[in-house]
Structure 1
C-alpha cells in the first residue's frame, strides 16, 4: 500500500466548508491546523474560493489545514478543484514542506487580494459581518 500524502488546504476544502466532502469521500483524514511561512499572498476568486500564491516579498502567513490523503484520492481531489488551482509544495511555519493547493497567478488578476485577513475563514467571517 502506498504511503498517504500530507496535503495543505487553505479554502473550501477545509472542515465544514463547501468542498470538504471531496476530501472525506476519498478517505482523507484531518491532521492539524497550521500556517504557512510568511511567503504567500491570498486572493478571493469571485468570493467563491481563495487562491494562494507564493511571492518573493511582501508575503504573510496563511492559515490552513493539513490532511492525510491516499495517493489515488489526491488525484481525484485535484480533478475536482476549480480551474486555476493546482498542487505544489507549501512551506509550513513548523518547518515542514508538504503538498498544498496553490493558485495560478493569472487566476488572481483582477480579483480582490485578501492577504490582510490571514486566511479564507477570517475573510468569510468578515463578509458575513458585512451582510
Structure 2
C-alpha cells in the first residue's frame, strides 16, 4: 500500500504542460511554477512529433523550459502509467541547482530513428506552435 502523504516533484516539459493536450494526465497536481533544466539536455520530436524526447548530454546542451508539479504518489503512478513507450523516470538537474523527476527518452532510440532535434525551438510548446 502506498503512503498517501508521499509526494514527488516532477518536471514536465512536453504534452502535459498547461495548455497542451495531455495536461489532464497530471490529475490536478499542484503547479509549483515555470522553470527550466540546467543546460545539459537535448530535445527531440519523437514519433513524428507525437511527444518529446529529452536526454542528458556532456556537451552542446540547452536549458529546456518546463513546469514543476508536486504530485501525490497516486498522481505520479497515473502519470508514469500513461507515459508513451520507452519513456523512463529519471532525476534531472534544474537551472536553480535543484532536481526533479522527469521522463527521459533513450538517446539510442532517437538516433536509431533519426528523430529531429528541436532544441532550437525553445521548448515543446514553442515547437508545437511553430509546426501547427
After the TM superposition, which of the residue ranges 109-118 and 33-42 deviates more from structure 2?
109-118
SS in 1 for 2:61: coil
Tell me the equivalent position of 1:60. Answer: 62
After the TM superposition, which of the residue ranges 47-56 and 100-109 deviates more from structure 2?
100-109
Tell me the equivalent position of 2:16. Answer: 13
Distance in 2, Cα, partners of 1:18 & 1:10 = 13
Distance in 2, Cα, partners of 1:85 & 1:40 = 15
Distance in 2, Cα, partners of 1:31 & 1:42 = 22
Tell me the equivalent position of 2:85. Answer: 83
Structure 1-normalised TM-score? 0.90
Structure 2-normalised TM-score? 0.89
Q: Is the CA contact 2:20–2:125 (under 8 Å) kept in the aligned structure 1? A: no
Question: 2:71 aligned with 1:69, yes or no?
Answer: yes
SS in 2 for 1:113: coil
| Segments ≥4 residues shifted beyond 4 Å | none
Distance in 2, Cα, partners of 1:29 & 1:41 = 26
Runs of 5+ consecutive residues of structure 1 not aligned to the other structure: none
Tell me the equivalent position of 1:122. Answer: 126
SS in 1 for 2:131: helix
Q: Is the CA contact 1:8–1:67 (under 8 Å) kept in the aligned structure 2? A: yes
Q: Give me the CA root mean square deviation.
A: 1.2
Q: Is the CA contact 2:92–2:102 (under 8 Å) kept in the aligned structure 1? A: yes
Deviation at 1:2, TM superposition (A): 2.5
How many residues are paired up?
126
Distance in 2, Cα, partners of 1:10 & 1:107 = 19
